Amino acid sequence: MSQYFFAVSPPEPLSSKIDALRERWGHPHHRVQPHITVKAPFQWHEQPEAFLAPVRAACAAAAPFDIRLSGTGRFGEARVLFLTVDGEGLKPLHLAVISALEGLLPADARSHEGEGYSPHLTLAVARFGIDAAGMAEMEQAAQAELAELPAFAVTALR
């Protein structure tokens, strides 16, 4: 059985800039390409085309849109540090993908999908070994170094 998810990746040089910041703290997320999850990970045991076809159709119906990675935020009692996402297109795209997969995948309440979806780009997660002081330092660095990132067009999912 394979695991899949759908995401938007920031273009270069934004991606490398985010990677460089995460790598300074030795956080495992620096080994994962920076991305904004659109559909949370799921397991699939059949041919991927069975779920790719309806997702492709949903994406074909969506017009490209711009987003911007802006300030920092925290989830889960400050245990997850992330960059916020400004722009109106991600939530409708997320809902279209979820709708396209309805009936193919079981609902997963832990995945914060549907109306609970909050687009973000994860910088660090405490359970991977970054302590509160390191998280605070990383947040300050992100606010200084990633504050003026340019907007970019979303034209595809990965």
H/E element, 18: helix 14-24
H/E element, 141: helix 132-145
Using CA of residue 34, residue 117, residue 92, residue 50, what is the dihedral sign?
A: positive
Q: What would the pLDDT profile of 55-87 be if each residue is shown by its tens digit? A: 999 999 999 999 999 899 999 777 899 999 999
Q: Dump strand ranges (E) for 1-158.
A: 2-8, 36-44, 65-75, 80-86, 120-125, 152-154
pTM score, two decimals?
0.91
Place of tokens 């947040």: 139
Coil, strand or helix at 150? coil
Q: What would the pLDDT profile of 96-144 be if each residue is shown by its tens digit? A: 999 999 888 776 666 678 888 999 999 998 888 888 899 999 999 999 9
